């Protein structure tokens, strides 16, 4: 009994650190939350104010004169990059999982899976380096001008096609970072489907691809949704790669898919240096508010994914009993 209590106490460091992070962020950013109010989320204007003038007192807190913190452009940037990443990662991930599970023979499947899953192990900053050195020149000079010329009639595809830094580039790099999660989850689920289903559908006269596309894949819909939500969670919080390829736009909403953007996570890194110059500390506290928003968003996503997967587990257990 004593041993269990001791172990429980040491184990408590893990939950304690999470609670500490969230509590601390809330307490620390509280003055900023009160100062910024609801404008924080809907205003498109991040301005540290005049840092060299004497601080003024607004609503009981000291701030630099002219300071205004609004992060609408960051929320839009974060959601849009995630959306673009998802639009690329989902079809590619599902396709790759299908081919890996159904068409690649044993030994080769192991190594190709390893290569695809290695994408998840590549450090964010190395993705950034690759994006900066290889992807941006290629996209900016070749693919984007081509896309804007050919698909200019599609909304948001028209030029100017920019320099290569921006929404589509960030979305592409992010999609490679989240796709292994989708591939691995889906492939494992497909491989562990009972062979009887496959045999039955084949006996009914389906081609091999029809078995996969019309029976196996639809039956794994919830698994796919769960994996996708987790992937969204990862994309929202990615920092370094986005920081290096997004163009770090400030107070600017993208007008097409090539436009520079910034995300909440990348913004914290790129702005902390200048925020520290604020003698009133309100800028750093406002960054803490961004971090808090970002954490709450990931928590929400995480719970959503668990909910979907929990329902999946329950229905799966139900199916085996019946």
Q: Using CB under 8 A, which residues numbered 220 to 249 contact another protein?
A: 230, 233-234, 236-240, 243-244
Of 94, 174, 257, 282, the residue at the interface with another protein (CB under 8 A) is 94
Find the shortest distance in angstroms from Cβ 84 to another protein.
16
Considering the rule CB under 8 A, would residue 86 count as an interface residue with another protein?
no
Peptide bond into 160 cis (omega under 30): yes
Q: Nearest CA to 249 among 177, 163, 172, 175?
A: 163
The residue with tokens 């010329």 is 149
What DSSP state is assigned to residue 68?
A: E
What DSSP state is assigned to residue 270?
A: H
Residues 73/253, Cβ–Cβ less than 8 Å? yes
Distance, in Å, from the CA atom of 105 to the CA atom of 110, rounded to the nearest integer, reads 9
Report the sign of the C-alpha dihedral through residues 276, 278, 281, 284, in that order. negative
**x/- string (CB under 8 A) for another protein, residues 127-166?**
xxxx-xxx--------------------------------
Binders of another protein in range 102-121 (CB under 8 A): 103-104, 110, 112, 114-116, 118-119, 121
Residues 11/3, Cβ–Cβ less than 8 Å? no
Closer Cβ to another protein, 139 or 256, answer by number: 139
Find the shortest distance in angstroms from Cβ 275 to another protein.
11
Find the shortest distance in angstroms from Cβ 96 to another protein.
4
Helix (H, G, I), strand (E, B) or coil at 278: coil
Closer Cβ to another protein, 129 or 143, answer by number: 129
Binders of another protein in range 181-210 (CB under 8 A): 183, 207-210
Find the shortest distance in angstroms from Cβ 54 to another protein.
23
The C-alpha torsion from 63 through 64 and 66 to 67, rounded to 10°, is -60
Find the shortest distance in angstroms from Cβ 17 to another protein.
5
Distance, in Å, from the CA atom of 289 to the CA atom of 225, rounded to the nearest integer, reads 29
Find the shortest distance in angstroms from Cβ 201 to another protein.
14
Count residues near another protein (CB under 8 A). Answer: 82
Backbone torsions φ then ψ of 197, nearest 5 degrees: -60, -50
Binders of another protein in range 49-78 (CB under 8 A): none
Closer Cβ to another protein, 231 or 257, answer by number: 231
**x/- string (CB under 8 A) for another protein, residues 271-310?**
-x-----------x--xx--x--xx--xx-xx---x----
Find the shortest distance in angstroms from Cβ 296 to another protein.
10
Q: Summarize the chain as % helix, strand, coil (round to 5).
A: 70, 5, 25
């Amino acid at each position: 009994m004593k041993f269990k209590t001791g172990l429980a106490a040491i184990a408590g460091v893990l939950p304690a650190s999470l609670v500490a992070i969230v509590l601390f962020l809330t307490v620390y950013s509280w003055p900023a939350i009160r100062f910024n109010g609801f404008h924080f989320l809907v205003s498109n204007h991040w301005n540290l104010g005049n840092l060299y003038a004497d601080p003024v007192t607004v609503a009981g807190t000291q701030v630099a004169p002219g300071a205004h913190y609004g992060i609408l452009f960051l929320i839009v940037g974060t959601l849009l990059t995630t959306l673009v990443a998802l639009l690329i990662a989902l079809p590619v991930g599902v396709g790759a999982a299908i081919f890996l599970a159904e068409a690649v023979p044993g030994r080769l499947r192991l190594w190709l899976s390893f290569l695809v899953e290695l994408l998840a192990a590549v450090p964010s900053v190395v993705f950034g380096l690759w994006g900066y050195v290889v992807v941006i020149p290629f996209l900016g000079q070749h693919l984007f001008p081509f896309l804007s010329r050919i698909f200019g009639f599609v909304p948001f595809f028209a030029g100017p096609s920019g320099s290569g830094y921006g929404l589509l580039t960030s979305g592409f790099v992010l999609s490679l970072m989240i796709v292994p999660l989708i591939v691995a989850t889906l492939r494992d689920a497909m491989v562990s489907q009972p062979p009887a289903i496959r045999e039955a559908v084949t006996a009914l006269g389906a081609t091999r691809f029809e078995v996969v596309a019309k029976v196996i894949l639809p039956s794994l819909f919830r698994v796919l949704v769960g994996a996708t939500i987790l992937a969204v969670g990862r994309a929202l919080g990615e920092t370094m790669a986005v920081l290096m390829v997004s163009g770090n736009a400030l107070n600017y909403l993208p007008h097409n898919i090539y436009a520079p953007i910034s995300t909440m996570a990348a913004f914290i890194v790129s702005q902390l240096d200048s925020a520290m110059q604020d003698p009133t500390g309100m800028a750093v506290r406002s960054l803490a508010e961004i971090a808090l928003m970002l954490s709450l968003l990931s928590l929400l996503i995480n719970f959503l994914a668990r909910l979907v997967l929990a329902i999946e587990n329950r229905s799966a257990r139900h199916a085996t009993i019946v």
